[in-house]
A = this chain, B = another copy of it.
Amino acid sequence: MKDLDLTSELVPGLKLKNPVMPASGTYDYGDGANAFNPSLLGAIVTKSVSAFPRSGNAPPRIHETPCGILNAVGIPSEGVEAFRRNTLPGLKQYNTALIVSVAGETPEDFAQVISCLEEENGIGAYELNFSCPNLGDGIPFGTNPELLYLAVKQIRKVASRPLIVKLSPNVVDIKLMARQAQDAGADILTVANTLTGMAIDVRRRQPVLGNIFGGLSGPAIKPVALRMVWEVAGAVDIPVIGVGGITDTTDALEFIMAGARAIQVGTANFANPKVMLEIIEGIESYMEENGFTRLADIVGLARR
């Protein structure tokens, strides 16, 4: 076991000890509730932080669907100032890469959050959440190729650290979005966020969620997310982090074999708070049993 190399160097200076990390907004750090030490993760990823405090959507915010959940949380955030003061110090204590997820409605919002965080040390990368279907009304720029390019370019200017762009799956051509992000200066891509969905309560004769629409996550969307990871990994040269419905080691291996150099686990944390640890161990066992020594040996294996 000691010869196994699970590290994944996403970009110079951002080398993960293993390829498993939580998906933004789905995992809590360090208040005793944790089922294992977050320092064991390949990275920790924060809930998306916005420039100013936001309260999020009216409840109900969660609804279970077949093999999935709809969430209409709507990115509540303490705002970047409070985040720096209250939350960040705790997160820096873990002995692993720290990725701060950033949300906003305009490129300026993102730039503002990042400018503020640039003064901090101990942050490994920013993940730009361009894909939240719960924010605002218009088509978010996460689904328009030109706007995406311009947004990344503008944000790139203020960010000295690696930029991860988290893409929305609610698009025609994810490859195009990925190339736009790469061309505008993204270092890494996370593929993908939630699919927009809804549910109706037939008894009450109205939409279930307070916000009507929500983001669909969980095993239900895995085939779609995996397809997008496959497409993007073939379309860009920068690393891809795969996310969407990963619930066990086999799921994680599917994403890695499709070309993902790291994976995120979201919804699956709720039912099994130890699932990320199990997946790290599962990848190790898989590599050992199949004679692989480096994680890189299995990245993109199904494409060859």
A126 is an interface residue with CB less than 8 A from chain B: no
Q: Measured between C-beta atoms, what is the minimum distance from A52 to chain B in Å?
A: 28
CA distance A43 to B254 in the complex (A): 40
**A86 CB within 8 Å of chain B:** no
Among candidates B170, B205, B220, B301, residue contacting A67 with C-beta atoms closer than 8 Å? B220
* B257→A205 contact, CB < 8 A: yes
Q: Of B144, B173, B223, B250, which is within 8 A of A198 by CB?
A: B223
Confirm or deny: A38 has a beta carbon within 8 angstroms of a beta carbon on chain B: no
Contact B202–A226 (Cβ < 8 Å): no
* A198 B170 Cβ-Cβ under 8 A: no
Task: Report the minimal beta-carbon distance from A133 to chain B, rounded to whole angstroms.
Answer: 9
Chain A interface size band reads: 35 or more
A 188-202 binary contact with B (CB < 8 Å = 1; else 0): 000000011111101
A66–B67 CB distance below 8 A: yes
Which of A67, A202, A219, A258 has the most chain B CB atoms closer than 10 A to its own CB? A202
A165 at the interface (CB under 8 A from B): no
Residues of B within 8 A of A302 (CB): 200, 205-207
Q: How far is the CA of A172 from the CA of B139 in the complex (A)?
A: 8
A51 within 8 A of B: no
Copies in the complex: 2
Q: In the complex, which of the residues B67, B224, B250 contacts A197, with contact meaning CB atoms closer than 8 Å?
A: B224
Contact of A200 among B68, B219, B245, B257 (CB under 8 A): B257
Indicate whether A173 sits within 8 Å of B66 (C-beta atoms), given known contacts A206-B302, A216-B224. no
Q: Which residues of B contact A199 (CB under 8 A)?
A: 223, 226, 254
What are 18 A-B residue pairs whose CB atoms fall within 8 Å in the complex? A66-B67, A66-B220, A67-B219, A67-B220, A68-B223, A70-B223, A195-B223, A195-B224, A197-B223, A199-B223, A199-B226, A200-B226, A200-B254, A200-B257, A205-B302, A213-B227, A220-B220, A220-B221
| A67-B66, A171-B172, A207-B302 as given contacts; A257 in contact with B222, CB under 8 Å | no
Asked if B143 and A172 sit within 8 Å, CB to CB, the answer is yes
Residue of B nearest to A247 (CB): B66
A253 contacts the other chain (CB 8 A): yes
When C-beta atoms are compared, the residue in chain B nearest to A214 turns out to be B223
CB of A230 within 8 A of chain B?
yes
Instruction: Name the distance in Å between A32's Cβ and chain B's nearest Cβ.
Output: 32
Q: Does A37 contact B (CB under 8 A)?
A: no
- Give complex CA distance A224, B197 in Å: 4
Beta-carbon contacts under 8 Å, A157-186 to B: 170-173
